[in-house]
Chain A
């Protein structure tokens, strides 16, 4: 029972480097999400994909891009990493974006930007 799988689990980057965080789900869910979690701030939505072929900005999209590669996979890209992007990143999926559908989370990627 893999659920939502994120890779890598840990990463250290230098300022200005680029990186792609990978996320895949095997629950046949339509909707997928990327969040960042910083101390004392809770989870903040970066981007989401309500269904395959669509993506939308969340609360904090600046500095990020996403690709919904297919129904299973949703990647997050940092084009030019900045220290302010040091955070824990969570990917999640749900049956549908609308309605009373809870999300299932991956176990996170801990990213440090030096």
Chain B
């Protein structure tokens, strides 16, 4: 089993839709969690950290479920500019393979 697993997608959604991604991790002792965004042929960029109590940044909401060992990312009111690959990261150095999102007009 991979240490960090994501549904690769692609997720194809219309503008304005709400979309959610999950990411599961195998190490129950994991302490830090992040979501990164990666545009095609570009470097990953930090989208948001994931805190135990859940956190929100504008249209983006991140949650952590320690009991089931997964983190989630919810994007509300999707924009065309949200089209990218979303990477979850566990313990700062373990990356998932990414979930590809395409938002269509």
Contact = CB atoms under 8 A, between A and B. Distances in A.
Interface string B68-98: 0000000000000000000100001111111
Contacts of B32: 99-101
Interface stretch (A18-26, A71-79, A102-110): A102-110
A43 B95 contact: yes
Interface residues of B, number: 19
Nearest to A41: B97
B45 interface: yes
Contacts of B4: 42
Interface of B: 4, 8, 31-32, 34, 42-46, 49, 87, 92-98
Given A99-B31, A105-B43, A108-B43, 9 more contacts: A40-B97, A43-B87, A48-B93, A94-B92, A97-B93, A99-B92, A100-B31, A101-B32, A102-B46
Given A42-B87, A90-B44, A99-B32, A58 B93 contact: yes
Contacts of A101: 32, 92
A30 B55 CA distance: 27
Main secondary structure of the interface of B (DSSP, over half): loop
Interface of A: 33, 35, 40-45, 48, 58, 90, 94, 97, 99-108
A101 B96 CA distance: 17
A97 B92 contact: yes
6 contacts: A40-B8, A42-B98, A43-B87, A45-B94, A94-B92, A106-B43
A43 B44 contact: yes
Nearest to B32: A100
The CB with the most chain B CB atoms within 10 A, among A44, A94, A102, is that of A102
Contacts of B95: 35, 42-44
Nearest to A101: B92
A91 to B, nearest CB: 9
Contacts of A107: 42-43
Interface centre among A42, A48, A106, A108 (most CB of B within 10 A): A42
A105 B92 contact: no
